[in-house]
Structure 1
Amino acid sequence: MTSTDPLTRLTEHGVSVWLDDLSRERLESGNLAELIRDFQVTGVTTNPTIFAGALASGAAYHDRIRSLAERGADVDSAVREITTSDVAEACDLFREVFDASEGVDGRVSIEVDPRLARDTEGTVAEAAELWKTVDRPNLLVKIPATEEGLPAITRTLASGISVNVTLIFSIQRYRQVIDAFMTGLEQARANGHDIASIASVASFFVSRVDSEIDKRLQGLGGDSTTALLGKAAIANARLAYAAYAEEFSGTRWAGLAGAGARPQRPLWASTGVKDPSYSDTRYVDELVVPGTVNTMPEGTLHAVADHAEISGDTVTGTAAQAQAVFDDLVAAGIDVDDVFATLEEEGVVKFEKSWIELLDTVRDQLDRAYDSERANG
């Protein structure tokens, strides 16, 4: 990569490039190391859907499944060992980036069991167990920003665990996430933790907002609604950044920053374009602003490297224009609150479904390994 490469320009403008994917095949083939070396990748995010896909199609897991079967592992412990070992290895691969960036980047995320999305106590316990099991300082434990997740975020941070808050859609919920983050740091400091070592990102989902709102606009019909297609997601993310800038410039944050705290960086998630009529790099080009993260599927990463137009900050100062988009959407008849509630519920359901598929896949592979062992025994 050269200084004229779009990914290099993106990082020069203060955006951290993370990969939204992880698998045993990526680790063993050297693909992830190559992306770190040649494509500016400084972190990885995972979710249940990613792991389900990796286990369903990856022959690289066969030896691990066979070993687990020989030890008599049940499906839950097998899934836990498979996912945490992949994440731990990825953490080790990113350790040099983590150290060089003084803990800003080099982060790898792992999500709590999505079946716990509405269970505060279960989420807190699972987050602590994942943190203990992976045992790497550059881990981020992903907790969804459901109503039940908010107190879990606070309590997890208060115990000194770094958190990736996921499934954020609305600005209202995002402000609650920021409050949960700051409360967690305040409690962590009171508990005697070094809050300078606690990291957090807030994962604001982007493309799904366009998918849902565009569908509703098309249902309404008319020229005025057609003009609003493809406007909501970028406007929503820009409003999120305005909220971030406001919340992290107040006296409450100043007190935490004075004690060494790092801000909770906005992370643009779901940045793969779902509508083929849109530019495949739009959720990168239009969301360039310092101090943020953009986590991309590999296809988007390569598209950005090939032809993204990175010309500078495209977010700062755009809040009024972004708000006008939402004013127009409401005037057109879009129930924005219902959109965000729908997206959150669909996100929870999708990840839970993927987790169940992951369990079923591993159960099937364990059964076949058990049968093979008995046949050869």
Structure 2
Amino acid sequence: MTARHVFVVAGEPSGDKLGAALMDGMRARLGDTVQFSGVGGPLMTARGLSSIFPMDDISIMGLGAILRQYRTLKARIRQTADAAIAAQPDVVITIDLPEFSLRVAKEIKARSDLRCVHYVAPTVWAWRPGRATRMAAHVDHVLALLPFEPPYMTAAGMACDFVGHPVVTEPVATEAEAGAFRAETGIGDAPLLMVLPGSRRSEVAHMLPILEGAVTRVAEARPDLRLVVPLAGPVAETVRTAVQSWPGEPVCLDPGTDNAEALARKRAAFKAADTALATSGTVALELAAAGTPMVIGYTMGWLSRQVIGRLLLTDTVNLVNLVSDTRTVPERIGTDCTAEALAEATLSVMADPGAQQDAMRLTMERLGAGGADPGLRAADAVLARFGAWKKPGATARL
């Protein structure tokens, strides 16, 4: 079997998870004949990737944060492109984080003939639809997580495959495991609110004060409230320190991305929670998989709010609302994301937790629940095009 080399770039925990599943899918098809290089986190490095620099260096979101670290990001873009061109892989696969990934692809295409795949279609259905046309100049193939995304990509001139969302393959805790978590933490039958501040440093900095205000208000209305706070690797200690003074006797869950016991405990907490108050992102799908009703909030720096607020094309950014084509999940975005608004919405959901159940079930179905593993589908989608993609042996153009 012909040896293959895949250069993979991920810049945040969700991308690391996608990259790990893709690597598993590639190995399932190609065995040890495939090798990987690039940028990734703990899940990808556990599968043999030697990251050329720490993934956290590029886990930045928001125009203000990007501008403040522009020189560092520019250097990392160049370093990543240089490494890809030097490696001469069969294919380069960038994963999500378009602020970084698509600039890497552009740099690679300007200096070589390497084939570029981007995993996770940019949200051109939500804002800046012109991005699809611009990225088509340096991206050959897109792997989409959401079923309604391929037409946007193919219309711009790129191949695109819907490969399903990895959330549908992840284990969900049982009621017994949820009950054991409540007993072990001393929560018992108290109302349990899960708070998810995010995984990026920039978004956590904006959201933590708002979430604290919201939790304080909810606790005033529900004095018996308890909190559980899953921690994400890059911001774990920041969040742990911040929530120590919050009401509700917060139970913090260590990231444990490569620890089976920690992951099982996190799944049990998701199932045990009555309601979740979360920063907008893919965590909404984890909550939907667990059947946990949610309230979503998101804000950012002033500059990002001014730009993105004027360009937004949809009335919702929540993935459950979008995939199910409903609007059952309350959202408070931008200037509407205040402590008062989030607290009011959270109390409303706590009073009627069943309203979101049908939308969450439909979302999982449409994302591929019961079908082939998305990581394997993603690998197959890439490998299916290898016959037409002869290894270019490109010469770098410096």
TM-based fold match above 0.5: no
Q: Determine which structure has the larger helix proportion and give its number.
A: 1
Structure ranking higher on relative contact order (CA contacts 8 Å, 6+ apart) = 1
TM-score (norm 2): 0.28
TM-score (norm 1): 0.29
